[in-house]
Amino acid sequence: MADDMVEQLRKFSLTPEEEDDIVIDPSLRVRAVEACSSSLVGKLLTKRGFGRAALKDKMRKVWGSLAGLRILDVGENLFHFRFANDMDMQRVLNGGPWCFDNLLLLLKRWEVGMKADSVEFKDIEFWIQLWGLPFECITQEIGKAIGERIGTVLEVHKIAESNEWGRYIRIRVSIPLNRPLRRGGNVVLGEGDKCWVDYKYERLLVFCHCCGMLDHETRDCAEKNKGVGGGCSKEFAYGAWMNASQSYRRGYRWKEGDLASQKRGYNRGEG
């Protein structure tokens, strides 16, 4: 819309008043930037309509009614989440992915100069569990090495010597939105021993079971009925089995003593 308006104005001569630059005092810009320093920009990964007010109310509740949180509607399916401090902002960012009405909420750090027509969401962050490695390979170093082949590794869940949990490695990875989810990978260990490792995604809800993309549901997939005869159904290559079982989500805890409420949120599809 803004680009179209600029293009239209180029066809006409501006008046002297329109050509006159409006100079903003640098101190005003500094204060404006400081006010946005602890903030995120987000959008729902959907092409269908949704209730904006309902989304704002739900996210406030899911995030624990954070003091000072402001949620501004800044564009078509675009929101500016302004937090009172960096700690609250980072907790939300690290605790994702979040969702509303079973739809993924994409989040990214706010940057100076962002406008509604320039914001792009190219990646999403997931906690991924790596299942199927030999016992001796459940280490942070091996988890990081595998994660680097999936996307950009942001964090590897610390495996303390006193920790009795050793079924899988848990990594937080930023993955591209324009590629299908990876179901797993062949890992070659040392002298050539190879094993298949399953990738289980935490808080993975609605995605396409036909092509593995996150940006649409199975029912809307253009590939769903290709090569399928009348009266036949297609066996999908992706599915709910890629979602980490709720009983094995051992990661992010919003508050001490709040685990039960998180589980209720997962059951309702809020987390």
pLDDT confidence tier of residue 268, bands split at 50, 70 and 90: very low
Per-residue confidence (pLDDT) for residue 69, from 0 to 100: 92
Nearest CA-CA partner of 38 in 105, 112, 90, 77: 90
Which residues of the chain are in CATH 3.30.70.330 domains?
21-109
pLDDT confidence tier of residue 247, bands split at 50, 70 and 90: low
Would the pTM of this model clear 0.95, i.e. be above it? no
Per-residue confidence (pLDDT) for residue 169, from 0 to 100: 94
pLDDT confidence tier of residue 233, bands split at 50, 70 and 90: low
- What is the C-alpha to C-alpha distance for residues 192 and 190, in angstroms, rounded to an integer? 6
- What is the C-alpha to C-alpha distance for residues 175 and 213, in angstroms, rounded to an integer? 12
Element (H, E) at 127: strand 123-131
For 52, 207, 217, 239, the CA distances from 221, given in Å and listed in that order, are 26, 10, 7, 14
The CATH number of the domain covering residues in 21-109? 3.30.70.330
- What is the C-alpha to C-alpha distance for residues 261 and 264, in angstroms, rounded to an integer? 5
Task: Output the CA angle 50-174-253, nearest 5 degrees.
Answer: 75
Per-residue confidence (pLDDT) for residue 14, from 0 to 100: 77
Token representation of residue 228: 């399928």
- What is the C-alpha to C-alpha distance for residues 249 and 134, in angstroms, rounded to an integer? 20
Nearest CA-CA partner of 146 in 169, 174, 166: 169
Which tens digits make up the pLDDT trace of 51-87? 999 999 999 999 988 888 999 998 889 999 999 999 9
